[in-house]
Amino acid sequence: MTNIIVDELKPNLSADVPLDAFLRRASRIVEDEFGEKGEIPPSWFLVTASGQTHAVVMPFPATGEDPFADNVKNKGVAFMRDYFKKCDVVRYAHVAEAWMGTKPASVRASMDPNRIEIVSLIVEDRDRACCGRREIIRPASGKPYLGKLELVDESPKLGYSRFACRMTRVLSSSRTSPVHPSKL
């Protein structure tokens, strides 16, 4: 992998708070970064078993051969799985700008003419995951800004997420699938 930037995180990201609180903290980091730079590069905020926190910024450039950057995303996730094991990561947040479609899932969001631009937030530890999003609002004049945090799952405290994509289930775990709230 190329263009990977690792940096120590100063904000209080901890494995000692509920997962939805971790999501809200990651959302505030994203809001500050977006307010300062006007964009969010694909990033992973990590917490290790020893309590260290750092960020890994990993762009996913599209190419003519890979116009949606699927291959580089898959390689990036494979790299992160190994990196998580090496660094003993116990919790993470993945944040990235994305398109959210309004059509059925069979249509790529980038092909939906009514799509909206969002920042996607996925947080996970070894037992559970939850997700959120913030709409990117780009006024005709003025600076772009982020809308309010919306939780994708109705009950993130219950320990499962209906949201599944290549950026989830990156941590090693004994679980093979999310735990449904009725099973808790």
Tell which residue, 147, 97, 155, 115, has the closest CA to residue 131: 155
Q: Which residue type sits at 116? A: I
pLDDT in tens, 147-169: 999 988 644 443 444 434 445 45
Question: Do residues 84 and 130 make contact, with C-beta atoms less than 8 angstroms apart?
Answer: no
In this predicted structure, the answer to whether residue 173 has a pLDDT above a threshold of 80 is: no
Query: Rounded CA gap, 106 and 50, in Å?
Result: 42
3-state secondary structure 134-178: EEEECCCCCCCEECCCEECCCCHHHCCCCCCCCCCCCCCCCCCCC
In this predicted structure, the answer to whether residue 178 has a pLDDT above a threshold of 80 is: no
* Domain count within the chain: 1
Mean pLDDT of the chain: 77
48: containing domain: 5-183
pLDDT in tens, 16-26: 888 889 999 99
Tell which residue, 76, 152, 90, 173, has the closest CA to residue 125: 90
In this predicted structure, the answer to whether residue 42 has a pLDDT above a threshold of 50 is: yes
Residue 124 DSSP code: E
pLDDT in tens, 84-103: 999 999 999 999 998 887 76
